[in-house]
């Protein structure tokens, strides 16, 4: 009656099985884009010396991929690191059963890597100010091109089709019912309850405002509605640095990391 099934495991077999199951627990949730990257250059040393801050390792290189006119999106990057992971915000997860989900349309898309924290941010704001609204998420080349042409080819208003952070699926324009859900400079989003809440709290959920006062990055003015996601760890470091008087923006912090193409 002592067949192989009923034999007690040898110590070696036991360790093999334990190691295999630990491996699968530790790695089962790892995303195909998971490739930790370390900060790399002189800017990192300056930040360390002047602000006594070590930049963290970042789990997903897409969080630190600069997207601007000097570092445009290339179709291969979008095809490999963005498009396969796009998901519909309104019909996924929490919002599937929320008829009045605070998002602009059925077709609004986001990268899967940000869905959890985007939902947490909306919930966080909603619990104190109910007006939060997501106006815009992922935009492909053609959607951006349409918006750019509508702006009269004005890159200070609408980024060039291959230079918009919206192309990474991790970037969103927020607005508020307080200003009838519009997104433009005249609406003074930064003075609304939602705008004030976002400027104070977005970093806690991994989001930072990209275009800030006086930086004129790619010719843009302050855009208090436009936030990009860099993960909670790096956003927290970014917030600390700004508190300590560092004057860089999100592009400056992304420059501290190796760039994927
Ligand atoms: Zn935007």
pLDDT digits (tens, 9 = 90+) for 149-193: 999 999 989 999 999 999 999 999 999 999 999 999 999 999 999
Cα 261 to ligand 1 centre (Å) = 22
pLDDT confidence of residue 43: 85
The DSSP element (H or E) to which 258 belongs, if any, is none
Q: What b/e string do you get for 165-177 counting C-beta neighbours within 10 Å, with b at 16 or more?
A: bbbbbbbbbbbbe
Residue 239 · residue 46 · CB < 8 Å: no
Cα 18 to ligand 1 centre (Å) = 48
Cα 171 to ligand 1 centre (Å) = 7
Cα 108 to ligand 1 centre (Å) = 13
Residue 224 · residue 209 · CB < 8 Å: yes
Residues of the chain under the 50 pLDDT cut? 1-6
Structure pTM? 0.87
Cα 226 to ligand 1 centre (Å) = 4
Strand 207-209 relative to strand 171-176: parallel, antiparallel, unpaired? unpaired
Query: Phi/psi at 228 (nearest 5 deg)?
Result: -120, 150
Structure tokens at 110: 């986001």
Domains, the chain, ranges and CATH? 35-254 (3.30.1380.10)
Q: What would the pLDDT profile of 80-101 be if each residue is shown by its tens digit?
A: 999 999 999 888 777 776 767 7
- DSSP labels, 156-179: TTS--TTS-GGGGS-EEEEEEGGG
């Amino acid at each position: 009656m002592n067949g192989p099934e009923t034999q007690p495991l040898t110590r070696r077999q036991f360790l093999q099985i334990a190691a295999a199951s630990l491996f699968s627990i530790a790695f089962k949730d790892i995303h195909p884009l998971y490739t930790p990257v370390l900060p790399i250059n002189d800017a990192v040393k300056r930040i360390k010396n002047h602000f006594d801050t070590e930049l963290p390792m970042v789990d997903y290189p897409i969080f630190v991929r600069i997207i601007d006119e000097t570092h445009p999106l290339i179709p291969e990057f979008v095809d490999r690191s963005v498009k396969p992971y796009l998901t519909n915000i309104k019909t996924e997860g929490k919002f599937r059963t929320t008829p009045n989900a605070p998002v602009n349309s059925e077709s609004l898309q986001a990268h899967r890597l940000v869905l959890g924290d985007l939902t947490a941010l909306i919930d966080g704001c909603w619990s104190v100010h109910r007006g939060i609204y997501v106006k815009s998420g992922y935009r492909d080349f053609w959607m951006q091109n349409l918006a750019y042409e509508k702006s009269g080819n004005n890159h200070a208003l609408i980024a060039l089709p291959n230079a918009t952070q919206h192309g990474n699926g991790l970037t969103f324009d927020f607005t508020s019912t307080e200003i009838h859900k519009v997104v433009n400079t005249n609406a003074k989003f930064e003075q609304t309850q939602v705008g004030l809440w976002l400027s104070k709290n977005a970093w806690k959920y991994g989001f930072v405002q990209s275009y800030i006062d006086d930086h004129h990055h790619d010719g843009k003015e302050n855009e208090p509605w436009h936030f990009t996601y860099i993960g909670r760890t790096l956003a927290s470091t970014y917030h600390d640095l700004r508190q300590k008087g560092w004057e860089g923006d999100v592009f400056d912090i992304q420059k501290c990391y190796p760039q994927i193409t």
